[in-house]
Structure 1
Amino acid sequence: QVADPFTKKRVMEATYELLDTLDIHGVKDLGGGGLTCCLSEMADKGGNGSCIDLEKIPLREEGMTPYEIMLSESQERMVFAISRDDVEKAYEICDKHDLSHAVIGEIIDKREFIVRHNGEEICHAPNILFTDAPIIERKARPIKKVIKDVKLDDVNPQEALLKLLASENITSKEWVYSQYDHEVQLHTVVKPGDDAAVIKVDEDTSFTIGTDCNSTHVLLDPYNGAASAVLESINNAISMGARPVALVDCLNFGNPEKPEVFWQFKESVSGMSEVARKFNVAFISGNVSFYNETEGVTVNPSPIVGCVGLVDNQHIKTMTFKEEGDIVLLLGNTYPELNGSQYYKELYDLVQGYPPCLRLDENYAVSTLIEKLIREKNDSITSVHDLSKGGLAVALALMAIKSELGAKICLSEVPSTKELTDDEKLFSESYSRFIITVKEDKVDEVVSMIKDSNVAYAKIGVVGTDRLVICSDEGKLIEAEIDELTEANTSTIERQMA
């Protein structure tokens, strides 16, 4: 598959015009299974069948076999079912948008799938073989968890922060996304690099788009880890001021014939669906990619989740600190959850134990409160950022880097129901926590609304200075200039690709 965004744009515009102009009986894009799945499903849903002539199908290469033609998953293709009387008009629209097109067959009045090649019938089968295939009941077996006793040496918090900022999972991806035009038609309101990108629809409305997955968390606990991918993707949209409206997924796993891999898959899907139901946001599309192995080594289970949100243009937020003197609030409880964290992985090369736990009612309360605060106290809130990989310290550092403005932070009031070490306060990856900054003269009214919601919160600092300073009760833990943080966070990929 080779993606071609400009052809995709032409296909989209032609599709809109065909739908507006003609009486379309059916339409479907080509995805997994290519023409085989698309054509059999379209016809069967209408209670009909189809008869296809392979030699009429536009091909991108010469010498393709019938097998390749029917199963190719080439992108930027659509299939339409239309009346014979509309064919000429459909051709005119396709020609206008410079798209290849052809009549490749016809709908028949029996639920059968017929394929002809050079006049020879090479497939004649009932639709049910394609549209209602037998279900394989695969075995699922939990993976035995092994937790070793490990002695962890003390690490300087500032050195830890700089190492985390430079790690592959946290480092800036600007070197990658700056390779392509992410401002086509100048509708990009917030560029890549924030919690989500924001694309303008009209003068009143925009939409957000972002993806997320923490494959380490999924590896250690497929249910909670995959659930967190949905939660984090939703929180990314909320952080931008949006109302989450739809989810998509790309589920990447190893060989499902291995009971342990299939167990990972089942648990992941269960966790994802629970969060989606709680937030009442539907998965509208997605795909499953199995057999991701090399020489018997399976990839980490990676259910990647994308979320689209709808946002009023007046409510768009970013993670950037705005003004010196703004008050920094932390919402949501922090728990002693360093297992599976980027901190343990990067500083100690340790990936074991149980990752952060999904506390869905609590997570939901925090996330929906942020949505409500932005909606009702929009002018009082100057920035929003949700915590994920690297925890509180990394989240604050990224906000400072984006704004070239520092902050003074005290950890003593970090909300929690447990006793926490400084490392846990700095680097725990507990779910559904947000940093918001509030205008100094508006703090009381924002705090009053938070208290009414019974969500844990604390005033942890103030925006200002040219450095990020984080203190505990015992003294200063981190004091890093913005340039030092920026250098750590922006050079990794470029250096590796040089």
Structure 2
Amino acid sequence: MLPEEDLKIITEKMGREPNLVEQGCFLNLWSEHCSYRSSAPLLKTFTTTGDKVIIGPGDDAAIISFGNGWVLAVGMESHNHPSYVDPYNGSATGVGGIVRDIISMGARPIALMDPLYFGPLDNPKNLYLFEHIIEGIAGYGNCIGVPVVRGEAYFDRSYSGNPLVNVVAVGLAREKDVVTACAQTAGNKLVLMGSTTGRDGLGGASFASRDLSEDSEAEDRPSIQIGDPFTEKLLIEATLEAIGKGYVKSCRDLGAAGLAGASSEMASKGDLGMRIIADNVVLRETGMTPYEILIAESQERMLLEVEPENVDAVLAIADKYDLNGSMIGELTEELNYTVEFKGEVAADIPVKLLTEGAPTFERPSTVPEAREPGEKPELPADLKKAVLDILSSHNVASKRWIYRQYDHEVQVRTVRKPGDDAGLLRIDGNEGIALSCGCNPRHTLLDPYTGGKGTVIENAMNLAVKGARGLAIVDCLNFGNPERPDIYWQFKQAILGLGDAARDLTIPVVGGNVSLYNESGEFKTAIAPTPSIGLVGHIEDVTMAPAGVFTKEGDTIILVGETGDELGGSEYYNIIGKEMDGKAPKPPENVVKVIDTLIDLAKSGKLTASHDLSLGGIAAAICEMCENYGADIDLSNVAEDLRADEILFSESYARALVATSEPDAVKEMLKDVPYTVIGTVGGNTLNIQIGDSKIELTPEEINEARDSLMALMME
């Protein structure tokens, strides 16, 4: 049912009370998920333009100039609520939906990233969700032939009962082939192509705009879309063929709010109206009502604007690929959204009221009471055990079990397999793109503004250590119930922090998604604030990117950046039960200089290896780099007045480890940023010294700890 206040506004604007079909359209298009009612004012604070931005927020995907006539289509979406109710289909259709957003712009999808957030796997329900969400992503992505080249899997108790499934998609097109969702000309016809329309996914947009309850699995299963990747693969080829032949004037994926959403938004963007003939929609089930036809979110469907003389040609393409195709309406000069069914008018709505009329507002926000940082823990008696505990925690352990489910080399563009700081793909010769995604929710929980800034910086560092510079950011802002003033404060502060960091690094925020109401009645808790992003960067020569592990004995190892007493929100504190103690790390003022210097170093060819420091700090990064060789490390001079555990596990931002055979030249390039020479590559063991403390780790000990997640999943 429409909220009473919304019904009052709509009735006043229309001069009558909307009928049930019209109310269904408003209920979904005016939902938080579709209209960004309480987030639009905050999202306007982002800088969304730049030299490389051709199309920014507002379309199915952003379009970024790559050069030489090539453009990138970039989008990010969430499928959180559906993935809790039905993890396999929820995650699979999350992939399918964002891929169609890329296709609708005239681009071929070339890469996926999947930042995922789960509750601890010692809970059987969380383990079930984890396994089936990964299976759904793999099953869909592998079938449609789009590689998953990067991802994140983060574990925290707050995601129990409400996992997050965020997906980034990147596509490639010639600039001349780009189409948009902006309708062009009155009199042009609307062709619906792809799968049939059924009752699956009914009310998905409104479902995504409320909390989950204990009964969600049973009550909300009709809201979950069922995907068919084989049909999606055919739809990719059919849509791109129709666009390539010049038949398509505008295009829109059918996602949230189904046909009602796609068709009304397409018309509204072109300042046109639309007449829909619901009888012409090819149905999967008999007896469907106009309400169901309009609102159903059945997958693998695309809406195309086609000139009348080309309708038959487009329908022939649909038939060629064994897809359903039908002419379901036309664009009109009159600015109304009209739906006819069985000779009668089922809906007649002012199109701008439907698509742009939802009131937007900032909700009340409350700054929480100041939190006591807590006492520092005692220094661990066994530092070696502390290091191994960090390595075996699910957040730091190798994610090999996850990414080996995915085909990450299909399309033969992939240069670096998952597991490195950034995914690398060739685009034009050796010129390519670098991809990173994710965030640190615990940092954001302790300090939303700083956590938002850190999200951008961490992803930019992942690109910098490979020699890549950020081009564009897409985001997926996952938070709890915005009607709670403390949650809305988190949301607002994280957005402001993210936007400020993006401006500092001159990287525009070009699109994304807001996912609110992420909390479940089952566990009575909101998720940790999770401003997950996808960052796309440019790399001049993918063959020059340094390895993520040590590759040459005798190399000098250098720590770039400054290490502070910044254990708040760290994986170390989480493991020892002090996750809410301490203060979140604050990005240093010289972060831009550090990133620029690392990019220049990586491009210079003087580095044999480089690795960003993040979760688990220096200890985790060194162990991860000792895949082929050991190392002798002395951290005694890293920072004055810091304890051994602070040096090992601090998660201070803007730091990296680099290895080089030309230390003098590298030190000269590092003269304007802080750095410390900390050791040498070589031997069969990792030896770490900090003052009088010594740690010795064998490859077997490191590998056993890092493979803890793999071992769990193989049990």
Same-fold call, TM > 0.5? yes
Determine helix, strand or coil for the equivalent of 2:624: helix
Cα root mean square deviation, aligned: 2.2
**For 1:141 and 1:16, how far apart are their aligned partners in 2?**
48
Distance in 2 between the 1:120 and 1:494 partners?
62
CA gap 1:497/1:224 in 2 versus in 1, 3 angstroms: farther
Find the counterpart in structure 2 of residue 404 from structure 1: 628
Structure 1 residue 279, shift from structure 2 partner: 1.8
How is 1:302-381 mapped onto 2 (pairs within 5 angstroms)?
302-311=530-539, 312-359=541-588, 361-375=589-603, 377-378=604-605, 380-381=606-607
Whole-angstrom distance in 2 between the partners of 1:15 and 1:282: 29
Match of 1:450 among 659, 665, 670: 670
Alignment partner for residue 652 of structure 2, among 418, 430, 438?
A: 430
Deviations 1:463-488 (A, max 9, x none): 11111111122242x21011111110
Q: Kindly provide the CA deviation profile for residues 360-408 of structure 1, in whole angstroms up to 9, marking residues without a partner as x.
A: x411111111112222x12x111111100111111111111xx321111
CA distance in 1, matches of 2:285, 2:460: 41
1:387-402 map, 5 Å: 387-400=613-626
Q: For the residues of structure 1 that align with 2:569 and 2:251, how far apart are their CA atoms?
A: 44
Post-superposition offset of 1:73: 4.1
Match of 1:280 among 476, 490, 506: 506
Q: Which residue of 2 aligns with 1:464?
A: 682
AA in 1 matched with 2:534: G
Aligned with residue 399 of structure 2, among 133, 152, 173:
173
Does the CA-based 8 Å contact 2:335-2:351 persist in structure 1? yes
Deviation at 1:92, TM superposition (A): 3.0
Asked if 1 retains the 8 angstrom alpha-carbon contact of 2:366 and 2:486, the reply is yes
1:143 aligns with 2:368: yes
Q: 1:299 aligns to what? A: 527
CA contact (8 A) 1:212 1:230 kept: no
Tell me, what secondary structure is at the counterpart of 2:326? coil
- Distance of 2:385 and 2:285 partners within structure 1: 54
Distance 2:428 2:529 in 1: 38
Partner of 1:473: 691
How many residues align? The count is: 486
Pairwise CA distance, 1:497: 6.2
1:25 corresponds in structure 2 to: 249
Identical amino acids, percent of aligned pairs: 39
Instruction: Tell me the amino acid that sits aligned with residue 177 of structure 1.
Output: Y
CA 1:445 to 1:103, structure 2 compared with 1: closer, same or farther past 3 Å? same
Alignment partner of 2:385 out of 159, 178, 184: 159
Question: Which deviates the most, 34-43 or 479-488?
Answer: 34-43
Partner Cα distance (1:74, 1:207) in 2: 33
2:277 is aligned, of 53, 63, 68, to 53
Give 1:54 deviation, angstroms.
Answer: 2.7
In the alignment, is the contact (CA less than 8 A) between 1:238 and 1:367 conserved in 2?
yes
The question of whether the paired residues in 2 share the 8 Å contact of 1:37 and 1:130 is answered with: no
Residues 1:216 and 2:442 are matched in the alignment:
yes
Shift of residue 325, structure 1, vs aligned partner = 0.7
Query: Secondary structure of 1:394's partner?
Result: helix
CA gap of 1:59–1:211, structure 2 versus 1, over 3 A, is: farther
Tell me, in whole angstroms, the C-alpha distance in 1 between the residues paired with 2:316 and 2:468.
Answer: 40
State how far apart, in whole Å, the 1-side matches of 2:384 and 2:275 are. 67
1:350 maps to a residue whose letter is E
Tell me, in whole angstroms, the C-alpha distance in 1 between the residues paired with 2:559 and 2:544. 20
SS at match of 1:255: coil
Equivalent residues of 1:252, 1:289 under 8 A apart: yes
Distance in 2 of aligned mates of 1:63 and 1:435: 63
Report how far residue 278 of structure 1 moved.
Answer: 1.8
CA–CA separation in structure 2 for the residues paired with 1:16 and 1:242: 30
Q: For the structure 1 residues 70 and 287, does the alpha-carbon distance in structure 2 shift closer, same or farther, using more than 3 Å as the test?
A: farther
Kept after mapping to 2: 8 A contact 1:223/1:270: yes
Question: How far does residue 412 in structure 1 lie from its aligned partner after superposition?
Answer: 2.2
Answer yes or no: is the 8 Å Cα contact 1:213–1:305 preserved in 2.
yes
Question: Residue 168 of structure 1 contacts residue 493 of structure 1 at CA under 8 Å; is this kept in 2?
Answer: no
**Pair 1:74–1:426, CA change in 2 (3 A):** farther
Give, in whole Å, the separation in 1 of the partners of 2:338 and 2:461.
47
Q: In structure 2, what is the equivalent of residue 198 of structure 1?
A: 424
Partners in 2 of 1:300 and 1:491 — Cα distance?
24
8 Å contact 1:33–1:71 — kept in the other structure? yes
Q: Is the 8 A contact 1:329 1:435 kept in 2?
A: yes
The answer to whether structure 1 residue 483 and structure 2 residue 700 are counterparts is yes
Shift of 1:201: 2.8
Q: Unpaired runs of 5+ in structure 2?
A: 1-89, 97-139, 145-228
Quote the residue 1:119 is aligned against.
343
2:567·2:582 contact (CA, 8 Å) conserved in 1? no
The structure-2 alpha-carbon separation of the partners of 1:189 and 1:98, relative to structure 1 and needing over 3 Å to count, comes to farther
- 3-state SS of the aligned residue for 1:40? helix
| Structure 1: unaligned runs, 5 residues or longer | none
1:39-82 CA-partner distances (Å, limit 9, x unpaired): 22221221101112233334566665544443444554332212
- Contact conserved, 1:91 with 1:101, CA < 8 A, in 2? yes
Q: Is the 8 A contact 2:264 2:355 kept in 1?
A: yes
Cα deviation for residue 202 of structure 1 reads 4.3
Secondary structure, counterpart of 1:25 in structure 2:
strand
Contact 2:559-2:656 at 8 Å conserved across structures: yes
In the alignment, the residues of structure 2 paired with residue 110 and residue 242 of structure 1 have an alpha-carbon distance, to the nearest angstrom, of 49
**Residue 120 to residue 160, structure 1, CA distance change in 2 (3 Å):** farther
Distance 1:205 1:14 in 2: 29
TM-score by length of 2: 0.65
> Could you tell me which of 77, 87, 90 is aligned with 2:314?
90
